[in-house]
Structure 1
């Protein structure tokens, strides 16, 4: 039988016995050695039955809250205030010289001029139809007047025939004839009035045709919707622009927006109109105010968009530059602690473990305000508190510990 496997098994068994059965003593020894504290024997309170129970050693830091500027710090980028692809509303050939990208254009400046083709002839034809429709109205109105005169004459004849019939001087046939004439005159009036309405409808139709033709001609001139820079060349001379084709892309950089995304844990600290600053990737610093705060979170990142409007008169800030954003918020009192002091309770809440009266451990949930190179700023604790900074992972609420206090400067 080989002796090496037996020795290995014995060593492994001994190591497991120490790790499992003597865990607390091993941890206390490790913590005391790591902090280079003087060798102090843990108190051995007498437990029921005359046995002694060990007390866990921990390192505690006394923390005093301080007033801090709780600005919300974000990462973001610059974004043009407006960006539009100016498109054609009709199909025609470009007859204007192109403007080159980077050029500054004023609102209403011509970007693309299109060939009118047969559109002027269509407009002239529509205007001629309108003039003809207008001329039909007086004729229709004269027919109405003529029909009214005939009706009046027919009514007179009918009245005379009726009176003569009473005295026996006119036959019933004549009376029926005059009554038929009245009805015929009334029908003629209705027909004449219908002719007037038809003529007026013709005018409205002709006016609509004229407006369509004029609008089609106006679409031949494509202008800038606002003052800004050309992000692309305008359509080349001789190129065919279809309806919906892009003439040019115009962006507005003054003012410019700085866009960031606020975590849901800090969104309530940002409000419209708050002062904000940004440091761009080239080192330039700018200032502005919050002009937009989203009410809907991004479904992927659970963050809320925030827009900051910044002046950019010299056009020195470009679209898409990386920026570090600071948004002013009301000051608050917080504790500065080592990040390693943070822990989680059984429910998954972030917090710290503190030492209360009688050297008893208690868990306190906290809110993380800011992460710095010196440590983390947290809120949710009393003004003065003793926080366990070493050994907090090995104790639970309600147990007694033997604290060793560490100076903050350490």
Structure 2
């Protein structure tokens, strides 16, 4: 006889007994076990929720400390020659000098054009001869004054004698009248002599003026460079006839050179004369200089202010009229360097970052973007020290508790 079939038959009989005769007792026992299991599962779920609530949302953040950076105002502008002038003739005449070609560097005082003197030297000689003649007249006029003065003295003596004799009855009244007439004539002679001296001196001054005018006319025959620079045009060709005001050449000075830009009225207070400035030209060349002029009058159309930066240009490598991006240094400001991806917007579209407070709760803070660099963006309007969420800021809002993982901030 096999054992397992007997045991199986006994188990089946016992099961049938409970199902048939102890059915209520069996169902009550099964219900208590299920309730205990469900209560245990609910307790585990509640504990998990509480644990998750205490832990918060996982985010990545940085400890950011504000740094002082040099602020700057960026302008679009151009290069401009320090000086530029068209040298013109002050007199007329034929050009007798060989022309200088454009691009030639000339020093201050170098001759650009030379005109034919014509009869100007003869006019100078004539003026000098008249001056010598006028100077010779002065001694003659002075001698006439001396002679006239002596006649006045003699007439005065005769008049006094005639008066005494007339009073004593030894001279007639006619003699006294004649002496008085002689005295008046002598005084008139002195006046004429003084007039002759004044006329001779005026003649000297007129002759001197004529000599100076003739000399100045000869000096105008040579047209010289007023300052050192480059010829922008050829000088007037040999044999050309120049009239008064005709251009001889255009000369420009490129050392130093000016960088000219226009700053909007919102940034004009950030720039001061003497501030350090730099520029990048279209050729890629970078230069440095100082602000030497800031206009105090805005352009009527653009409402911008002219800014001039003086830059050394000893090698004449920078030309007039090149486009330049000008950066003018302003007062330093404190700012935070963060990744551009850390920036976000609030519900009103305000640019800012989401930060973490001491209780690990999220708080949105608006920022002002100062500068964009290869290392990140510089922002301000934040506290000196702040914890900024860099990953996960788009999945949390103000007041949400987070579990931050901190990484090293950008330096």
Q: Deviations over 1:41-77 (max 9, x none)?
A: xxxxxxxxxxxxxxxxxxxx99986543312222222
CA distance in 2, matches of 1:107, 1:173: 80
Verify the 8 A CA contact 2:76 2:262 in the aligned structure 1: yes
Q: Quick check: which one's helix share is greater?
A: 2
2:143 corresponds in structure 1 to 142
1:241 corresponds in structure 2 to 242
CA distance in 2, matches of 1:221, 1:230: 17
Verify the 8 A CA contact 1:369 1:376 in the aligned structure 2: yes
1:21 corresponds in structure 2 to none
CA distance in 2, matches of 1:278, 1:93: 47
1:199 corresponds in structure 2 to 200
Alignment of 1:123-134 (within 5 A): 123-134=124-135
CA distance in 1, matches of 2:399, 2:406: 19
Q: Deviations over 1:324-359 (max 9, x none)?
A: 2222222212467789849999xxxx988999x9x9
CA distance in 2, matches of 1:88, 1:177: 68
CA distance in 2, matches of 1:270, 1:326: 11
1:15 corresponds in structure 2 to none
CA RMSD of aligned residues (A): 3.7
Alignment of 1:61-210 (within 5 A): 67-210=68-211
1:20 corresponds in structure 2 to none
For residues 305 and 376 of structure 1, do their structure 2 counterparts lie closer, same or farther at Cα, with a shift above 3 Å needed? Answer: farther
2:56 corresponds in structure 1 to none
SS of aligned partner of 1:203: helix
Verify the 8 A CA contact 1:111 1:223 in the aligned structure 2: yes
1:311 aligns with 2:312: yes
For residues 373 and 165 of structure 1, do their structure 2 counterparts lie closer, same or farther at Cα, with a shift above 3 Å needed? Answer: same
Which range moves more in the overlay, 378-387 or 264-273?
A: 378-387
Name the larger-Rg structure: 2
TM-score (norm: length of structure 2): 0.70
SS of aligned partner of 1:72: strand
CA distance in 2, matches of 1:367, 1:163: 114
1:230 aligns with 2:231: yes
CA distance in 1, matches of 2:405, 2:86: 63
Alignment of 1:6-17 (within 5 A): none
Q: Which consecutive unaligned segments of at least 5 residues does structure 1 have?
A: 1-60, 388-399
CA distance in 2, matches of 1:93, 1:214: 18
> 1:138: how far off?
1.3
CA distance in 1, matches of 2:346, 2:296: 31
How many aligned positions are there? 335
Verify the 8 A CA contact 2:152 2:183 in the aligned structure 1: yes
TM-score (norm: length of structure 1): 0.70
Verify the 8 A CA contact 2:364 2:398 in the aligned structure 1: no
Verify the 8 A CA contact 2:344 2:351 in the aligned structure 1: no
CA distance in 1, matches of 2:316, 2:226: 19
